[in-house]
Each structure stands twice: as structure tokens, then as C-alpha cells.
Amino acid sequence: MPDVVIFDLFDTLVDLRWEDLPPVDWGEGSKHSTVGALHELVQPVNGMALPAFAAAVKAADMAFLRARWAQDLEITTEQRFADLLERLGIEADGLVDRLTATHTEWLSRVSIAPTHHAAVLERLQGRCRLALCSNYSHTPTALRVLEREGLLSFFDAVVVSADLGVRKPHRRIFERVFEALDLPFGPALHVGDSLLKDVAGAAPLGLETVWITRRIEDPDAALADYDGPRPDHVIADLQEIEALLD
């Protein structure tokens, strides 16, 4: 049995239900997003219509994908919105903070843990050390969600990419988990929903990988389209972890 079990956060421990965000028609069909709420903050400053604002958000995000995420580098939510306002030529005191607060509040609202997850972690806590390793751009929101859902107290270490500047599958974020646990890098079980981030990041480092498919629409198709290392285990529900530790 491994001494350490590492968990991804969103769509592993907590479901990030994008489908519960408000639907917004921004000229390319309706999409569930925070962009409508963000537009309400920006529109009084520069008069920009929603479709144009949504296009600007999309263009800024794509630029970050190319410049940073493709290199497994993280950006914070604040950096994202500061860059957006610069692109739009907007200078308004406090607007970055208001955009960040609005965006993260909406995401917090739709981030819900299945009711049995706390009990699973409580049982695991007595058997091994638990750590969290999350790709997320706003650490306070990640911690707030964990606390609200009754999960935070079970973890001996919490590592969020916003604090480190790199994202899974970058090896540095996995190494940071062991540093936070005050342990040498060694055997562990890593549990996550992303083949490209969780499995492809952990497997080359010698960690045992668990792919959780609860929020994957078509696991067979996802696995067929993926050419990285195979997950060691595939589970549909978090409680299946317990059998893997026997």
C-alpha cells in the first residue's frame, strides 16, 4: 500500500459544473460561462457590446494557451484579467479585483463535491497521508471550496498551481507535493480525471496512476484518443480507491 495518495481537485474530488453557469448568447450560440457577469462590470467603463467583449476574452485566453499553458506554465486569475484589460485599453482602479471576485464567486457556486466524498477521505486518512495537487488559477477559491465542502481538513498538504507558476503535467508541481509533506519523492497513488495532465504527468515520475471517469462523457473514446502512458487503474467513483489500497 502506498504511503501517500495525491488527489486532483476539480472533477475528481469536486465537480466543477460549468453547465450550471448562466447561459450567455454571445453571437456564437449560447454558452454557459461567467462572461455575462464579467461584461456587466466592463460595459459601463467602455461601452463594449457583449459579443465583442466575449471575443476579446476568447482571444486573450487563446494567447495564454499558446504562450503559457502550452509550456505547462500557470497564470493567476488576476494576471488573466489584467492582461484582458490591457488588451482592451481599459484603466480602471479596482476593476481587476472586481472581475476576479465575480468570476471566482461564480465558479465557487458551481463547484460541488458528491456527498460521500468526505466519508471516503475520512476513512483513507487513517491509512495513509493525503495530499491535493490542483491546476487552478486562484488558490483562495480552491481553499474556500474545499473548506465549504468539508474536505480541507483531511489533507496533509495542498499544492495549487497558482502558487507555483507551473501546471500539471510539469514535474515540479508533483515534486512540490512531497516537499509540502516533508517526504522524499517516492511511491504514491495519484488520482485525477485528466489523462493529459494527471496520468501523463504522474506516470513518468514513477507514481501509480488512477484515472477517475465520473465526469468523463465517453471514457472509451477519451482513452482511444490519448497516446500517453496508460493509467494503472480506472475507476468511476472515488470510493473505489479504498479497494486499491488493500
221 in the same domain as 171 = yes
**What is the pLDDT at residue 126?**
85
**108 HSE (CA, 13 A, CB side):** 18
Q: How confident is the model at residue 65 (pLDDT cuts 50, 70, 90)?
A: confident
Q: Are 5 and 188 in contact (CB under 8 A)?
A: yes
125 in the same domain as 224 = yes
The CA distance from 241 to 144, in Å, is: 25
Summarised one tens digit per residue, pLDDT across range 129-150 is: 999 999 999 999 999 999 999 9
Eight-state DSSP code of residue 77: H
**What is the pLDDT at residue 30?**
82
145 in the same domain as 65 = no
152 in the same domain as 231 = yes
- Of 84, 134, 125, 131, nearest to 242 by C-alpha is 125
Cβ-based neighbours of 67, under 8 Å, separated by 6 or more: none
144 in the same domain as 98 = no
User: Rounded mean pLDDT of 141-170?
Assistant: 98
**What is the pLDDT at residue 25?**
80
Residue 27 pLDDT greater than 90, yes or no:
no
Count of domains for the chain: 2
**What is the pLDDT at residue 246?**
81
Q: Are 171 and 163 in contact (CB under 8 A)?
A: no
Which SS3 state, helix, strand or coil, does residue 133 take?
strand
Q: All 3 cell numbers of residue 158?
A: 495542498
Query: Which of 109, 136, 166 corresponds to the end of one domain?
Result: 109
Summarised one tens digit per residue, pLDDT across range 31-42 is: 899 999 999 999
User: Rounded mean pLDDT of 103-110?
Assistant: 98
The CA distance from 52 to 26, in Å, is: 8
How far is residue 86 from each of residues 56, 96, 141, measured CA to CA in Å? 11, 11, 24
Query: Which of 76, 109, 142 corresponds to the end of one domain?
Result: 109
Q: All 3 cell numbers of residue 169?
A: 503535467
Range of the domain at 91: 18-109
- Provide the percentage of residues in the chain whose pLDDT is more than 90: 89
CATH number at residue 220: 3.40.50.1000
pTM score above 0.75: yes
117 in the same domain as 211 = yes
Give the H/E segment covering residue 242.
helix 241-244
Summarised one tens digit per residue, pLDDT across range 203-218 is: 999 999 999 999 999 9
126 in the same domain as 198 = yes
190 in the same domain as 103 = no
Residue 183 pLDDT greater than 90, yes or no:
yes
